[in-house]
Amino acid sequence: MRRFDIVVLSHKRLASFLSNFDKIESYDSSQDRITILSCSPSEEETQQVKAFEKKYEVQVKYQIRPNFGMAEGARIEYFIGNIDSLQEVFDTEYIFQFQEHYLDIKAPYSRWGKELNFKIKGDVVPDNITFDLNLLSDVFRQHKIAAAFCDRNNPCWFQRGEHTYIAPNGGNNFLSTSQIKDDYVQAELKRIYQKCDNTYRWALYAEFKVGELFFKEGNNYYDIKRDKVYSKFPKEEFYVAPDPINELYDFYERSLANKIIDKSKTAIKNFLQKSQA
């Protein structure tokens, strides 16, 4: 079994990861793997990967997928075995998966525009952070870490019912494959993917939903930035997003019957309004 599978979700910005690989330390080809999920294959990307492999004396598993569902679509496809076999996915202890620009602080697309003073976006790695895979594997094993995050703005805190969760910004995190193997998790990931309508709205819903599946209070989670293990998520230590979470859930999780009823109610209402006009 491998130690880490570094899974990079890429669309036209692969060079951003390749030129910042030095922020990942103690990479060991005998234990670790680099998997690139690209939805923008080109001769330029192929040459970039070859140059990267030669420079660092590593092998890259370069996988091509359709440009569908944005980063959330890619990570869910990978987790449910639509890209690699589940046997390959599960043949590792942890998956370190992130968007291709996550490590790149300097890229213009990692920053907001002039209206926000070119501030670095929240889905980019915090300043002065490197990922030492040796140290991280020791911490993860010692504390039986279910998942880990390194979030510039701290993950989004949210509640559903009686439970509390966090959702790392941009979905960038480390996950124990033991979580992904769970039958309920696999069923939910497939259901989420079936709901994908290739919109930003769905991607936002999926980001929170993946947070719900993998970052629920009760297990041990490691905050790499703060060097702290969490099993509870104090609201004041996290970011509370302004996103309409309940509305997103309602839209993508209402039963088909309820949607038909809503549609019928709208049709009747429109008919009555027209008949009274």
Q: 236-256 pLDDT, tens per residue?
A: 999 998 899 999 999 999 854
> Residue 139: which H helix or E strand, with range?
helix 133-143
Angle subtended by helix axes 200-214 and 183-194, to nearest 10:
170
Q: What is the pLDDT of residue 255?
A: 53
In a domain, 262, yes or no: no
Whether the per-residue pLDDT at 164 is higher than 60: the answer is: yes
Q: What is the pLDDT of residue 267?
A: 46
In a domain, 269, yes or no: no
Q: What is the pLDDT of residue 271?
A: 39
Whether the per-residue pLDDT at 261 is higher than 80: the answer is: no
Mean pLDDT, the chain, as a whole number? 92
Question: Could you tell me the two tokens for 106?
Answer: 């300097």
Backbone φ and ψ of 125, nearest 5°: -55, 145
Reduced to 3 states (helix: H, G, I; strand: E, B; else coil), residue 165 is strand
Long-range contacts of 248-251 (CB under 8 A, 24+ apart): 248/201, 248/204, 248/205, 248/208, 249/160, 249/205, 249/208, 249/209, 251/201, 251/205
Question: Could you tell me the two tokens for 250?
Answer: 């309602």
Whether the per-residue pLDDT at 272 is higher than 50: the answer is: no
Distance between CA atoms of residues 184 and 70, nearest Å: 24
pLDDT tens for 207-239 read 999 999 999 999 999 999 999 999 999 999 999
Which residues form the domain of 60?
Answer: 2-243
Residue in 67, 61, 101 with CA at minimum distance from that of residue 85: 61
Residue 69 DSSP symbol: S
Please give the share of the chain, as a percent, with pLDDT higher than 70.
92
- Are 125 and 150 within 8 A, CB to CB? yes
CATH code, domain with 214: 3.90.550
Distance between CA atoms of residues 92 and 215, nearest Å: 19
Residue in 16, 11, 167 with CA at minimum distance from that of residue 104: 16
Distance between CA atoms of residues 183 and 73, nearest Å: 19
In a domain, 258, yes or no: no
pTM of the model: 0.90
Whether the per-residue pLDDT at 53 is higher than 80: the answer is: yes
In a domain, 266, yes or no: no
Whether the per-residue pLDDT at 159 is higher than 80: the answer is: yes
In a domain, 58, yes or no: yes
Edge-to-edge strand order for the sheet containing 145-149?
60-64, 32-38, 2-10, 92-99, 173-176, 145-149, 220-223, 228-230
In a domain, 259, yes or no: no
In a domain, 142, yes or no: yes
Whether the per-residue pLDDT at 174 is higher than 90: the answer is: yes
| Overall domain count for the chain | 1
In a domain, 252, yes or no: no
Q: What is the pLDDT of residue 277?
A: 52
Distance between CA atoms of residues 24 and 132, nearest Å: 6
